[in-house]
Structure 1
Amino acid sequence: MEETVNSPATGPTPTGAAPYRAIDRLREAMAAGFGTGVSPLALGMALMDWSAHLAAAPGKRLQLADKAAREAAALLTHAAALAADPAAEPVIRPGPQDRRFAAAAWQNPPFSLWAQGFLLARQWWQEATRDVPGVDPHRENLLSAMVQQWLDMASPANLPFTNPEVITRTLETAGLSQWVGMRNWAEDMARLAAGKPPVGTERFRVGQEVAASPGKVVYRNHLIELIQYAPAPDTDTVLAEPVLLVPAWIMKYYILDLSPENSLVRHLVRAGHTVFCISWRNPTAEDRDLTLEDYRSLGVMAAVDAISAILPGRGIHAAGYCLGGTLLAIAAAAMGGARDDRLASISLLAAQTDFAEPGELGLFIDHDQLNSLEGAMRQRGYLTAEQMLGAFRFLRSNDLVWSRMVRAYLMGEREPMTDILAWSSDSTRMPYRMQGEYLRRFYLENALAGDRLLADGRPVALRNIRAPVFAVGTEEDYVAPWRSVYRLHCLSDAELTFVLGDRDHLAGIILDPTGPGHHRIATRGRDGTCLPSDDWLHAAALREGCWWPAWTDWLARHSAAERVAPPAMGAAAAGYPVLEDAPGSYVRQR
């Protein structure tokens, strides 16, 4: 029988094949250096799949030809109508989230005609790449997204001689805006080459303007620092059960502690909670073999153990955001299976547990693209933040790339830096082995929902979660679509309160609680009923305002009625002394 060796990402490989596999890995590493986030092989296969099936579908081709003829005729008719009535009704309007042609200058010809022609072409190509009989759905989605990206690059809004706003700005400033735009471009390129953050981030300093809630680091291991926050001033009593916040490992923790007006930490402290938060280490090449199990044991479980030692005998309200919530769900299910009842409640904020419908990020994840990504990670020992951010920019290129470039480089107007933008440029890395396991086990295999994930050598079953759950999805979330987050109803029998907030993955979770907004909320008991998501949507109560107060009220209802004096920082006698002031050292790692 042939001997095998284990590869962190791909599993057992016959030892006799190892030298040949090394040649493939060298090729993958070289190709990864020229990558754009999408595997050329995956894109090529998608193009071949689509073109072959389109060639075999005469009905679809006739449909597209008919649509092209009708759209061309409609555009010509509209052009003729404009000669008699400049306010003639347009043939097509952009979607509600497409603000490229919103300015009044775009309503005048010839700019209005250029915008109309572009939108019609975009619509035609969207139909051309969809619903071709026989095309693999994943490849169809990938090709359609890529075609839309290529078209968006050529949008008249992105070109200096077809964008009326750029032309007007240039005339008004006698060309000075173009000079300022060139200077902005040169400055950004210089900062990019030097590895410096974008212009304006210096106004949001960690520990001063952001991550400024007072507290102490009370525990540190190789992977995390645990921060305990001080109670609000003039606080005589607090709720007995502390709150543990688990951020995603792909981000710096202070997304949960931004400016005072939108700091989730500050909100919880002011609501009378003793708050702890995990701050993840920024991995290096030496951490390449850290696993997903390491993140559970050295991360969530180490934090739970520390809090249990600092505040013995008290239940813990654990809350996880994004992938931190997914990791928390794994830890909570493993604890339930081991009859460990230290969690008083679990809150999952924009966190998936079922990845059958992963949303738009699923475009980047199939066997070929994961193999390409592992080639890039294998060379360095980690996935860079820039590689991860490239996927998010791809999905929202109009908002995150093109509109900003037009403003900064063609009009000479920089977008004001905000705390969230500054945080998003404070990058982190992901270890090679853990990131490969996460993408493969969750996105390709959906192992958590299928009870095929292991913790401490035992299967993780979400139905073992016994503590009450508060889960939040957001209407416009393209990272963790709310219907995917909602599927926890079908995986767990625990009491479950589900909230659907407005906005997206960031703005729907991290927000000003006094600002405008709305949310829907409903609680399912322990009867295990799992309504279809659309039925839940129609039945859930609609409320005005932010969901944060509803959450803190829920936490209070699941806490002991008797309040206690604020605890001391750390517990030196139990082996958890104060190590340094918040925000600690790990958050400052580059």
Structure 2
Amino acid sequence: MAQGDDTTETGTEENLDRLNANLARMEELSKRMVAALGQKDLATDAGLTGPGQDFYMKAGSAYLNDMMTNPGKLIGHQVAYWGRALEHFTEAQKALAAGQLEIPEDEDVPDDPRFANPMWRTHPYFRLVRQQYELNADAINMAVKDLDGLDSKEKQRVEFFSRQIIDLFAPTNYLATNPDALQKAVETEGQSLVDGLENLVRDIEAHHGELLPTLSDPDAFTVGENIGATQGKVVFRNRMMELIQYAPLTEKVHKTPLVIFPPWINKFYILDLKPKNSLIRWVLEQGYTLFVVSWKNPDPSYADVGLEDYVEEGYVQAVETAKEITGEKQVNAVGYCIAGTTLSAALAWMQKRGDKSIKSATFFTTLTDFSDQGEFTVFLQDDFVDAIERQVTEKGILNSYFMSKTMSFLRARDLVYGPAVKSYMMGEAPPAFDLLYWNGDSTNLPGRMAVQYLRELCQKNALAEDGFKILGETVHLRDIKLPVMSIGTKTDHIAPWRQCFVGFEKFGSKDKTFIMSESGHIAGIVNPPSKKKYGHFTSGEMGQGPDAWEEAAEFHEGSWWPRWEAWLKKRSGAQVAARVPGESGHEILGDAPGTYVLEGSTS
């Protein structure tokens, strides 16, 4: 008996010590959080955090007008809402009053991974919370759907911000209404909450007072070692970019070199994550001399850099260097996302100048016609763009944080709230996921370039309509004449494939090929044949619009990479001895992946 008492006493002391240690840790973390929150840049333009007041006025006026002109519709919504809410409450009250902590499973449950825990269907309290959330979400969606008096863009914005509110108030986002988090807190004697607070403080510190969940283990990867590690040399550097020539992986290569222009919103190693899913390595294995641009991560001194600087000091210089090193008169080019948009402007400009240095061009998920701005419509109206213009006028750059936040909130459930719940309430460490690591390694945008892109290309749709003025020329999509291929991705929310197709059809080229890959903006492009994961669609229909193309399209199993390479091979000339970086006598400035890719975000 005495031994049992000693054991109990020892266990109590250990629990008390653990509790005191956790309390001390929480106090320390709370002080760090206060200090981190104090780092927040209070000068950040408020327009970057939400729509302008005119948006709320228009939405509120439309709802008030609808309520006054059609009160029966509003009353009908309210009656249905309160009837269902009362039914759910009565059901839960009866079960709890009878002491039932488990009731027959609710079969009418949406397929929503947030509510995977069985308690959402069988526990009276959590079932009521879930039912009421779904009821509230339905009520908001119905009110917005039936709202009259707004144009299509305003309606789209109301729908977007309504979804943001619905996602924010999901019961899974709060400790008292999240059974998974509560269960783990009990099982770990509160350690999960301490770990979660530590994760929260870490993220606030990392973003200088702002909050954005860390999606991937920041210590799991090192660029140049376990990602972005394909062998090559930096063969050119200027203020805009480093040009990397990769070491060949075959004895023979095609005569015409390939130059890839990745987007400068993120870093180029999305195309070289790991050997098994590296497009860069795969291209080398097919027998090509490959050059890839690594863009400079701009600081405030780049405030006056515009799209013309990217064209002249980036595209033109990269092409000229590749020609000089290989001794060829032409190269093939690839542009991804915004780099593809700018490549189209560069090609149109080169056509007007009689420059035939680029033999063919491929575009990955590239928008060139912005008449339909898709989900980005929300962020391309004057209130947001005006705020960006004010911000970059003051700071010189658009900090990478704002782009990361915008991209994340387009998929808030998956990229904001889901990771936040796991990290802050469950106390879990972020996973070692190369793609998410890259996603968090974003870059700043030069002030002038950001405004040019938003005002001229997105809002005015200059390339597709009246023409875009660049380097002394006014260029249009119809000015592009060389052979071109475009790769769209089926579920892309950044560059919807239909809109990619619409712009691509306006190119002046006679030789045009369009492919639609399954999946989205990244996974649809980084889709190696070895995975045998996503298929693709092809069609001969061009000139009749995306719907006609899709109706005639044929599905093919597997990656589009081999189909593209077969197209590229026909435009890449005969086989020659593989070219090793430096053997032409051109100066080597360092090893791949270079220095620019290692530069972090600069406030």
TM-score, normalised to structure 2, is 0.85
Number of residues of Structure 1 aligned to a counterpart in Structure 2: 547
CA distance in 2, matches of 1:403, 1:284: 32
Gaps of 5+ in 2: 1-40, 96-101
Q: Pairwise mapping of residues 174-253 of structure 1 onto structure 2 (< 5 A)? A: 174-193=189-208, 200-232=217-249, 235-253=250-268
Shift of 1:191: 3.7
Residue in structure 2 matched with residue 387 of structure 1 by the alignment: 402
1:46 is aligned to 2:55: yes
Indicate conservation of the 8 Å contact 1:81/1:88, yes or no: no
Instruction: Evaluate the alpha carbon distance shift between residue 353 and residue 60 of structure 1 in structure 2; reply closer, same or farther with a 3 A threshold.
Output: farther
Shift of the 158–269 alpha-carbon distance from structure 1 to 2, 3 Å rule, reads: same
Q: Distance in 2 between matches of 1:509 and 1:210?
A: 17
- Say if 1:365 and 1:61 are closer, same or farther in 2 by CA, change over 3 A: farther
Tell me, what secondary structure is at the counterpart of 2:319?
helix
Alpha-carbon distance, 1:87 to partner: 3.2
How big is the shift at 1:99? 2.5
1:499 aligns with 2:488: no
Contact 1:572 1:578 in 2 (8 A): no
Deviation, 1:447, is: 0.5
1:567 is aligned, of 567, 579, 603, to 579
- Counterpart position of 1:101: 115
CA shift, 1:427, in A, is 3.0
Q: Does 1:37 align with 2:56?
A: no
Q: Distance in 2 between matches of 1:414 and 1:104?
A: 24
State yes or no: 1:548 paired with 2:561: yes
> Contact (CA 8 Å) 1:571, 1:577: kept in 2 or not?
no
> Greater CA deviation, 317-326 or 460-469?
460-469
Secondary structure in 2 matching 1:459 = strand
**1:297-340 CA deviation, whole Å, 9 max, x = no partner?**
11111111111212233532211111011111111122223332
SS at 2:405 equivalent: helix
Q: Distance in 2 between matches of 1:204 and 1:442?
A: 36
2:105 is the counterpart of 1:87 = yes
2:591 is matched with 581
User: 1:468 Cα deviation (Å)?
Assistant: 1.9
- The one-letter code of the counterpart of 1:587 is V
- TM-score, L = length of structure 1: 0.86
Match of 1:11 in 2: none
Change (3 A) 1:79 1:273: farther
Letter of the aligned partner of 1:164 in structure 2?
Answer: P
Confirm or deny that 1:533 pairs with 2:533: no
Q: Which moved more, 1:403-412 or 1:462-471?
A: 462-471
Q: Distance in 1 between matches of 2:225 and 2:170?
A: 41
| Secondary structure of the structure 2 residue equivalent to 1:202 | coil
For residues 263 and 520 of structure 1, the distance between their equivalents in structure 2, rounded to whole angstroms, comes to 19
SS of equivalent to 2:576: coil
Q: Report how far residue 509 of structure 1 moved.
A: 1.6
Distance 2:570 2:81 in 1: 58
3-state SS, counterpart of residue 424 of structure 2 = helix
Residues 213 and 420 of structure 2 are in contact (CA less than 8 Å); yes or no, is this contact kept in structure 1?
A: no
Are the equivalent residues in 2 in contact too, given 1:78–1:88 (CA < 8 A)? no
Asked if residue 405 in structure 1 is aligned to residue 420 in structure 2, the reply is: yes
Q: Are the equivalent residues in 2 in contact too, given 1:38–1:364 (CA < 8 A)?
A: no
Aligned to 2:355: 340
SS at match of 1:161: helix
- 1:411-439 deviation per Cα after TM superposition (whole angstroms, max 9, x unaligned): 11223031122222223111111111111
Which digits, 9 at most, give the CA deviation of each residue in 1:273-293, with x for residues without a partner? Answer: 111001111111111111111
In structure 2, distance between residues paired with 1:510 and 1:267 = 11
Q: 2:143 corresponds to which letter in structure 1?
A: A
Q: Secondary structure of the residue that 1:510 maps to in structure 2? A: coil
Is the 8 Å Cα contact of residues 486 and 504 (structure 2) preserved in structure 1?
no
Q: Which residue of 2 aligns with 1:350?
A: 365
The structural deviation recorded for 1:60 is 5.5
User: In 1, distance between residues paired with 2:399 and 2:208?
Assistant: 15
* CA deviation string 1:9-47 (max 9, x = no partner): xxxxxxxxxxxxxxxxxxxxx985253734552xx2122
Partner of 1:15: none
Residue 172 (structure 1) aligns with: 187
Task: Give the match's secondary structure for 2:577.
Answer: coil
| C-alpha contact 1:499 1:520 (8 A) present in aligned 2 | yes
Q: CA deviation at 1:489?
A: 4.0
- Kindly, what percent of the aligned residue pairs are identical? 34
Q: Given that residues 45 and 391 in structure 2 are in contact (C-alpha distance below 8 angstroms), is that contact kept between their aligned partners in structure 1?
A: no
Alpha carbons of structure 1 residues 312 and 185: separation in structure 2 relative to 1, 3 Å: same
Q: Tell which deviates more after alignment, 348-357 or 187-196.
A: 187-196
Which of these residues, 502, 509, 530, is aligned with residue 514 of structure 1?
530
Distance verdict in 2 for CA 1:39–1:183, change over 3 Å:
closer
1-structure distance, mates of 2:392, 2:221: 30
For 2:226 and 2:529, the matched residues in 1 are separated by 19
Q: How far apart are the structure 2 equivalents of 1:63 and 1:571? A: 77
Residues 501 and 436 of structure 1: CA distance in aligned 2, closer, same or farther (over 3 Å): same
1:408-447 matches, within 5 Å, as 408-447=423-462
Over the aligned positions, Cα root-mean-square deviation in angstroms equals: 2.6
Post-superposition offset of 1:457: 1.4
Any conservation in 1 of the 2:529–2:561 contact (CA below 8 Å)?
yes
Aligned to 1:347, the other structure's residue is in SS state strand
Distance in 1, Cα, partners of 2:42 & 2:373: 27
SS for the counterpart of 2:372 is coil
In 2, Cα distance between the equivalents of 1:516 and 1:78?
46
Q: Aligned to 1:472, what secondary structure does the other structure show?
A: strand
Q: Does 1:124 align with 2:166?
A: no
Residue 156 (structure 2) pairs with residue 141 (structure 1): yes
Bigger drift between 58-67 and 151-160 goes to: 58-67
Compute the displacement of 1:247 (Å). Answer: 0.8
What are structure 1's unaligned runs of at least 5 residues?
1-29
**Relative to structure 1, is the Cα distance of residues 139 and 102 closer, same or farther in structure 2, using a 3 angstrom cutoff?**
same
Query: Quick one: distance in 1 between partners of 2:78 and 2:266?
Result: 45
Asked if structure 2 preserves the Cα contact closer than 8 Å seen for 1:217 and 1:583, the reply is yes
In 2, the alpha carbon distance for the partners of 1:509 and 1:226 equals 22
